[in-house]
């Protein structure tokens, strides 16, 4: 089977980490009889520098014609002085909207080999480490609502429709059915009217999934519970802004933001896959970046866009084996471990696939 992948290296360390992810993906193809056709396109700061805009129409066209999208990272201090609609990050919102990617899937898994990097007490982590998934609505809410300035005031509108809530809730419940059958929906329904709608729609969707346990938390309590009792969570379902904040919190309690992948999905198999970390321009091109989050993102691509579960697990197992043997990039380095660079880490993972 041949798969067409639009590749957006982006800014900073984006090209460094994407290169390693492509090597891993190509090796998977060699081993399991698939072929992956890559087409690089521009987005982010590099697109601003080359063509004067963060998201060229050609990039959107290529992404729509592809089976999946692999993204490195966008942004950096170089473009911080630009207006909001001209910044590199505008490319992310534009891609999500153009490709109709309404669901952001962020696993927060603590590798047992990196247990010491977790900032939580060992008794909180408990046996088996941490393993949860945040399902964040991606194209609605306050980030896409009406906004503006009037004199000395500014406003941003948080708005959700029944259909928007229903479709993201179904994604969360479907994922829960493949995991531990528990969904925690997080809102602010004691204060916000759109959260009251959110809660009622989630309850309706839950009726179609009688095997799934459902509970609700206010966002402030949910943020606290992630720190004091993270093992209570399996799948967290929440809106755009709350999900933005909580998924970053969840990533940090696992020990390293450099280890965590993400997927942005819609109603079709086309998805966009990227690490959750930033562009880290201070180490770009220095062979220091950790490529594991991007490598694990292509594992998610195999799983969600191509239905290649065996191949996805092979990548995840290869990463675990490399960590088990003590190899570390600088961001996850600890005493007694073996320091390697970006390229060497990618090479080691490729070797373990064999």
Q: Which sequence positions are flagged as catalytic?
A: 143, 188, 220, 244, 248
Q: What angle do CA 298, 274, 326 make, to 5 degrees?
A: 65
- What are 304's strand-pairing partners? none
The torsion defined by the Cα of 214, 218, 222 and 225, in degrees rounded to 10, comes to: -90
CA distance 238 to 93: 18
CA distance 3 to 10: 21
Instruction: Report the DSSP pairing between strands 327-328 and 147-150.
Output: unpaired
CA distance 126 to 80: 42
**Of 156, 117, 109, 143, nearest in space to 316 by CA:** 109
Q: CB of 154 within 8 A of CB of 145? A: no
**Of 70, 65, 63, nearest in space to 24 by CA:** 70
Q: Where are the beta strands (DSSP E) in 131-234?
A: 131-137, 147-150, 153-156, 182-187, 213-218
Q: CB of 201 within 8 A of CB of 169? A: yes
CA distance 59 to 187: 35
């Amino acid at each position: 089977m041949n798969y067409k992948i639009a590749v957006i290296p982006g800014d900073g360390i984006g090209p460094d980490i994407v290169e390693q992810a492509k090597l891993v993906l190509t090796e998977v193809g060699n081993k399991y009889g698939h072929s992956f056709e890559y087409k690089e396109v521009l987005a982010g700061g590099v697109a601003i520098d080359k063509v004067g805009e963060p998201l060229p129409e050609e990039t959107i066209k290529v992404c729509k014609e592809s089976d999946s999208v692999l993204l490195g990272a966008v942004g950096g201090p170089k473009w911080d002085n630009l207006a909001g609609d001209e910044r590199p990050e505008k490319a992310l919102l534009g891609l999500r909207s153009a490709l109709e990617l309404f669901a952001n899937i962020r696993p927060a898994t603590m590798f047992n080999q990196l247990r010491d990097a977790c900032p939580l007490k060992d008794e909180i982590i408990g046996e088996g480490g941490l393993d949860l998934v945040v399902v964040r609505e991606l194209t609605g809410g306050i980030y896409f609502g009406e906004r503006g300035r009037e004199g000395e005031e500014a406003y941003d509108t948080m708005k959700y429709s029944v259909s928007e809530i229903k479709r993201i809730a179904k994604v969360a419940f479907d994922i829960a059915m493949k995991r531990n059958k528990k969904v925690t929906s997080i809102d602010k329904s004691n204060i916000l009217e759109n959260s009251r709608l959110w809660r009622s729609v989630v309850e309706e969707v839950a009726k179609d999934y009688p095997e799934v346990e459902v509970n609700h938390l206010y966002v402030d309590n949910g943020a606290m519970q992630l720190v004091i009792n993270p093992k209570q969570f399996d799948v967290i379902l929440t809106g755009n802004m709350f999900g933005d904040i909580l998924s970053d919190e969840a990533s940090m309690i696992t020990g390293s933001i450099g280890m965590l992948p993400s997927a942005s999905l819609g109603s079709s198999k086309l998805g966009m896959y990227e690490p959750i970390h930033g562009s880290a321009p201070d180490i770009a091109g220095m062979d220091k970046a950790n490529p594991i989050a991007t490598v694990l993102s292509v594992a998610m691509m195999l799983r969600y866009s191509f239905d290649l579960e065996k191949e996805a697990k092979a990548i995840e197992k290869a990463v675990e084996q490399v960590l088990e043997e003590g190899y570390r990039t600088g961001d996850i380095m600890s005493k007694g471990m073996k320091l390697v660079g970006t390229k060497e880490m990618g090479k080691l993972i490729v070797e373990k696939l064999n």
